[in-house]
């Protein structure tokens, strides 16, 4: 499964929360480390999770391809899962695509926030 970017401005709006493996993927693909930080507390993390939720919702709005739409919905499920955990809301089983994306790109456990891409990326 290959992800297709929508190339909307919201995808490039930094700083933003990224999945745990994204900094390593950027380094692997471009041989340069991105500038990252870690959310300092739950309040900041929740703020970035909510921003990520809006980003994913915009991407859902702009994907009509079933495969891409399923991937965006999987991202929304991941953000929802973390918000439910922080606010102690019970969680249901997560669908297969979210698990696949978590395996390949990571979850949001490390709270990486992409601050700046390396030059040329």
- The pTM of this model reads 0.71
Specify which residues 36 forms β-bridges with.
114
Q: Is residue 2 part of a domain?
A: no
Instruction: Flag whether 31 is in a domain.
Output: yes
Is 46 among the domain residues? yes
3 assigned to some structural domain = no
In a domain, residue 33? The reply is: yes
Q: Is 21 a residue whose pLDDT tops 80? A: yes
Give the strand order in the sheet containing 16-17: 16-17, 112-116, 35-38
Do 54 and 41 contact (CB within 8 A), yes or no? no
72: containing domain: 9-116
Domain total for the chain? 1
Average pLDDT over the chain, rounded to an integer: 89
| 4 inside domain | no
- pLDDT class for 1, splitting at 50, 70, 90? very low
Buried b (16+ CB within 10 A) or exposed e, 23-40: beebeeeeeeebebeebe
């Amino acid at each position: 499964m290959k992800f297709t970017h929508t190339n909307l401005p919201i995808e490039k709006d930094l700083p933003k929360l990224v999945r745990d493996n994204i900094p390593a993927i950027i380094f692997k693909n471009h041989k340069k480390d991105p500038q990252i930080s870690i959310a300092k507390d739950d309040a900041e993390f929740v703020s970035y999770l909510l921003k990520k939720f809006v980003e994913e919702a915009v991407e859902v709005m702009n994907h009509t391809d079933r495969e891409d739409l399923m991937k965006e919905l999987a991202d929304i499920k991941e953000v929802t899962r973390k918000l439910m955990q922080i606010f102690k809301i019970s969680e249901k089983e997560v669908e297969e695509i979210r698990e696949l994306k978590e395996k390949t790109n990571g979850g949001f456990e490390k709270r990486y926030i992409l601050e700046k891409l390396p030059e040329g990326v």
